[in-house]
Amino acid sequence: MDRIQSIDSFFIKKNMKIFSLVPILIGVLVLQVSATENDVWIPNIPSKEVCSATDLIEANIIYALKTGRHVFVYKRDLMSGKQVKIFEYDESVEYKPDSGNWWEAMPAGIVLSPDKQDLAFVDKQALNIYNLPNGNRRKLIIRKDVSSSSDLEVAPSWSTPSRGEVVKGGEWFGLCGIVINGWSPDGKYISFFEAYTEGVGEGIIEVQTERWLRYHSGSDYMSWSSMKPSLLIASGDYAFGYPGLYIVSLEGSKQAKAASTIKRLDEKFGLGKDKTFLFSDATFSQDGQKIVFLFDKMQIEEGQEYTLAVANSDGTAFKILEEESCLLKPIFSLDGSSIFYIQQSDERMILRKCDLSYRKKVDVAILPSDWQIRLPVGIYNRHYRLFWTKDGFLSLVGGDADKLRLLVLDIGQRKLVYASPIFSSPPAIAGFIR
């Protein structure tokens, strides 16, 4: 408890800061050759697409690019650089990276199923599933037409075709819709965000039965365990007072809405009783036994500094790894022994690693000079992403809003495996496939 009190007092000074929305400029680094700086890797990243691996288990990616409201979905061969368009569609919200709006800064909402046979996406009319082998589409949730009222656009009602259930939306300032978040590891459930009266809400739908499940409003981040159908929910909706950190377990539950399937973790850590902390970027370890997340003191003007923490998924062994730092997207190593994350340090972006046994932090690589973290962190950096490939390589999506790239790194060998061409809008990487 003394630890938590010190955390609270630590944040008091922080809340007196005023953060602007001016981008943080990254210092210029010359990446002409691979090098080290105090044993920190500086990858040689050419301006054009390059693939140095010849034995990738999954050498193709499914990804989407969004221009305005229009989304193009592609399959790209990383070895040859050739790609084919799979299909295209329109979303309800226009992409505007500099608007300062959470929804308008999001990449296209599209994710690949665990068996890599289906793509889930949302167009203007429905939440759809697209089957890659045969090209068939299935409407999972259908949007109902609604009329506008005064200067507010009424969010649509959504219904499931076979069950006829209707889940009504609410009012939202000019924006309405759903963004797909992910699939459960068994492929039975799809998680999503929805815009409605209270701000942002999360939901879960059972794919086969079309049974609609919703838990609470105010969610910003959701992540599935790779081992079982458990969903880690991190909420940062300070405007409507629903912050928190939760685990929802659907394993063996006949009634997934039962309170026994929902576990609130932030209160166990002493961070949730007064509802003054916001949570983000939460994810499970590979075995589902641990979680890592960011949290911040609640404030109207969101700044750049977060605290990095880790705990067991049962709510025990809460530890702070990094206090008050400009950082993004923490993930576990494949063996769960360390945490990788992106950090702004000395006017440059660093890929860092924290060993959980000794809490030793090591700078792994200096990222390209045109990568930057913009303020507020939670709005302008939605396109950044860290994840592992089946080969055990670390993949990063990042860069400036109109100069985005996908990098695949062999951390152990300090080798650039793949660098994508420069994308003009955030690439939504649905997944790697054979």
Contact, 243 vs 236, CB < 8 A? yes
CA distances from 295 to 237, 282, 320 (A): 12, 9, 10
Q: What is the pLDDT of residue 291?
A: 97
Condensed to tens digits (0 to 9), the pLDDT of residues 187-235 reads: 999 888 765 444 556 678 888 887 767 655 555 678 899 988 898 988 7
Q: What is the pLDDT of residue 175?
A: 38
Least confident of 205-209, 324-328, 341-345: 324-328
Q: Which of 314, 361, 364, 356 is nearest to 332 (CA)?
A: 356
pLDDT at 187 (0 to 100):
93
pTM for this model (two decimals): 0.81
Percent of the chain with pLDDT over 90: 33
Q: What fold is seen in the domain 58-365+424-433?
A: Methylamine Dehydrogenase; Chain H (2.130.10)
DSSP annotation of 260 = G
Give residue 72's pLDDT.
96
Closest CA to 396 of 346, 323, 335, 343: 343
173 confidence band (pLDDT: 50, 70, 90): very low
SS3 3: helix
Query: Averaged over 96-114, what is the pLDDT?
Result: 77
The whole-number pLDDT of residue 152 equals 32
* Residues 322, 327, 332, 337, CA torsion sign: negative
Contact between residue 220 and residue 241 where contact means Cβ atoms under 8 Å apart: no
> pLDDT grade, residue 33 (50/70/90)?
very low
pLDDT value for 249:
86
Q: What pLDDT does residue 216 have? A: 54
Residue 357 to residues 168, 318, 351, Cα–Cα distance (Å): 48, 13, 19
For 261-278, write each residue's pLDDT tens digit. 788 898 888 886 666 788
Predicted confidence at residue 174, as pLDDT, reads 35
Q: Is the pLDDT of residue 1 over 80?
A: no
Q: Is a pLDDT exceeding 60 seen at residue 37? A: no
User: Stretch 249-272: mean pLDDT, rounded?
Assistant: 69
Other CB atoms within a 10 A radius of the CB of residue 171 amount to 16
Mean pLDDT, rounded, of the chain: 75
Q: 220: burial class by Cβ within 10 Å (0-12, 13-18, 19+)? A: buried
Domain limits of the chain?
58-365+424-433
Which of 163-172, 271-280, 297-306, 358-367 has the lowest average pLDDT? 163-172
Strands 262-264, 277-284: pairing kind: unpaired
Judge contact between 378 and 21, C-beta under 8 A: no
Residues with Cβ within 8 Å of 146's Cβ and at least 6 positions away in sequence, in order, are 154, 155, 156, 157, 169
Specify the DSSP class assigned to residue 145: P
Provide the pairing of β-strand 70-77 with 290-297.
unpaired
- State phi, psi for 227 to the nearest 5 degrees: -105, -30
d(CA 304, CA 21): 10
Distances in Å between the Cα of 150 and the Cα atoms of 66, 157, 172, 175, 279 are 30, 18, 12, 14, 34
Give the model's pLDDT for residue 200.
Answer: 57
Q: What is the pLDDT of residues 375-391, one digit of tens each?
A: 555 555 667 889 999 99
Q: Is the pLDDT of residue 7 over 90?
A: no
